[in-house]
């Protein structure tokens, strides 16, 4: 009797919210993709003709659509429907998308000489960052560049960070309740639906964990940037909101080189 092993998606996959996420991101990206992340990631990657990028947890492939046309691209994600959405939009024959679980020991691509790797807005959704870094290390050539962008782990910890207002100082501050302890945190994708809302998972680690794990698998960190929102408030709280928004960054970007 032939046994068929069912492909099991990890619980962190965004398959259950694929439709919502694909609509939100669209062809060019959501607000922060367009205004903050994609232009700066393209600048950090500095890809040139003939380079090749492995994009881990690529979602529906938004980064691929911002790259120079003459680079090779492989995107991997656990959510089959997001990969299908990416494949529907692809026009460049050098771009490929595959379903893959980054928690598994091996990816389906065997190419081991990528010049670049990336993981954009997804490391905070993945259970074991070391596994992700191992994949990047295994598939990059020596000297290859790895660009990571994630929700800033020091300031955006679901359920453990929030805004507050100090009325005497007339300032808006960021309150951090927990930071050093790794945490697995469920997030309701549609909070209005409360109990019926689909859940995605967030995994918190302090920055020191990411830096230590990168070093352990053979990366040297060559850059670190912190990016704030470019939005502006109107109205009577505008001054304090604008100040706290520019002082407290939303995203962290780590650039590492494979030794
Ligand atoms: C916030 S989305 C970001 C997607 C894309 N990089 C972007 O910027 O639009 C997080 C992605 O991580 C993927 N993901 C979560 N766990 C994964 C795993 N174990 N293996 C592969 N992908 C995973 C999800 O399916 C989802 O597409």
Residue in 77, 81, 100, 227 to alter for ligand 1 test, most ligand atoms within 8 A of Cβ: 77
Looking at residue 1, its pLDDT comes to: 37
Looking at residue 152, its pLDDT comes to: 98
- The answer to whether the pTM exceeds 0.85 is yes
> Which ligand 1 atom lies nearest to the CA of residue 10?
19
Cβ(60)–Cβ(82) below 8 Å:
yes
Residue in 122, 201, 251 to alter for ligand 1 test, most ligand atoms within 8 A of Cβ: 122
Residue 34, φ and ψ in degrees, nearest 5 = -75, -40
**CA 152, 87, 110 angle in degrees (round to 5)?**
75
Cβ(145)–Cβ(257) below 8 Å:
yes
Q: Which of 101, 48, 41 is nearest to 77 (CA)?
A: 101
Q: How far is it, in rounded angstroms, from Cα 32 to Cα 12?
A: 22
Looking at residue 196, its pLDDT comes to: 65
Residue in 13, 23, 32 to alter for ligand 1 test, most ligand atoms within 8 A of Cβ: 13
CA of 119 to the centre of ligand 1 (A): 9
Considering only CA atoms, give the Rg of the chain: 19
Cβ(126)–Cβ(102) below 8 Å:
yes
Looking at residue 72, its pLDDT comes to: 98
Cβ(221)–Cβ(253) below 8 Å:
no
Domains of the chain (ranges; CATH) run 15-157+184-235+250-258 (3.40.50.150)
CA of 209 to the centre of ligand 1 (A): 20
Residues with CB under 6 A from ligand 1: 10, 12-14, 25, 57-59, 62, 77-79, 82, 101-103, 120-122, 125-126
Q: Which of 257, 174, 171 is nearest to 222 (CA)?
A: 257
Cβ(97)–Cβ(34) below 8 Å:
no
Q: How far is it, in rounded angstroms, from Cα 5 to Cα 225?
A: 43
Per-residue pLDDT of the chain (259 residues; tens, 9 = 90+): 334 445 578 999 999 999 999 999 999 999 999 999 999 999 999 999 999 999 999 999 999 999 999 999 999 999 999 999 999 999 999 999 999 999 999 998 999 999 999 999 999 999 999 999 999 999 999 999 999 999 999 999 999 999 999 999 999 999 999 999 999 999 988 877 766 678 899 999 999 999 999 999 999 999 999 999 999 999 999 999 999 999 999 999 999 999 9
> Which ligand 1 atom lies nearest to the CA of residue 14?
25
Structure tokens at 85: 């959405």
Q: In what order do the strands lie in the sheet with 72-77?
A: 95-99, 72-77, 52-56, 114-120, 140-151, 251-258, 219-227
Q: Is 259 helix (H, G, I), strand (E, B) or coil?
A: coil
Looking at residue 194, its pLDDT comes to: 62
């Amino acid at each position: 009797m032939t046994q068929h092993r069912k492909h099991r998606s990890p619980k962190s996959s965004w398959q259950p919210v694929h439709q919502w996420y694909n609509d939100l991101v669209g062809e060019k990206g959501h607000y922060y993709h367009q205004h903050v992340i994609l232009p700066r990631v393209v600048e950090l990657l500095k890809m040139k003709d003939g380079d090749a990028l492995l994009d881990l947890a690529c979602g529906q492939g938004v980064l691929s659509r911002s790259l120079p046309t003459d680079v090779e691209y492989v995107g991997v994600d656990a959510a089959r429907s997001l990969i299908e959405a990416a494949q529907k939009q692809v026009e460049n024959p050098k771009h490929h998308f595959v379903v893959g679980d980054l928690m598994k020991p091996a990816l389906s691509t065997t190419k081991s000489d990528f010049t670049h790797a990336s993981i954009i807005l997804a490391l905070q959704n993945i259970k074991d960052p070391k596994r992700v870094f191992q994949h990047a290390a295994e598939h990059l050539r020596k000297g290859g560049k790895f660009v990571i962008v994630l929700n800033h782990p020091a300031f955006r910890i679901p359920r453990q960070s929030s805004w507050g207002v100090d009325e005497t100082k007339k300032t808006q501050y960021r309150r951090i309740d927990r930071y050093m302890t790794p945490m697995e945190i469920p997030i309701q994708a549609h909070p209005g639906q409360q109990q019926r809302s689909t859940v995605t998972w967030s995994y918190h680690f302090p920055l020191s964990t990411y830096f230590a794990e990168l070093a352990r698998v053979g990366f040297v960190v060559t850059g670190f940037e912190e990016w704030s929102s470019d939005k502006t408030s109107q109205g009577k709280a505008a001054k304090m909101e604008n100040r706290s928004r520019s002082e407290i960054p939303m995203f962290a970007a780590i650039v590492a080189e494979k030794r």
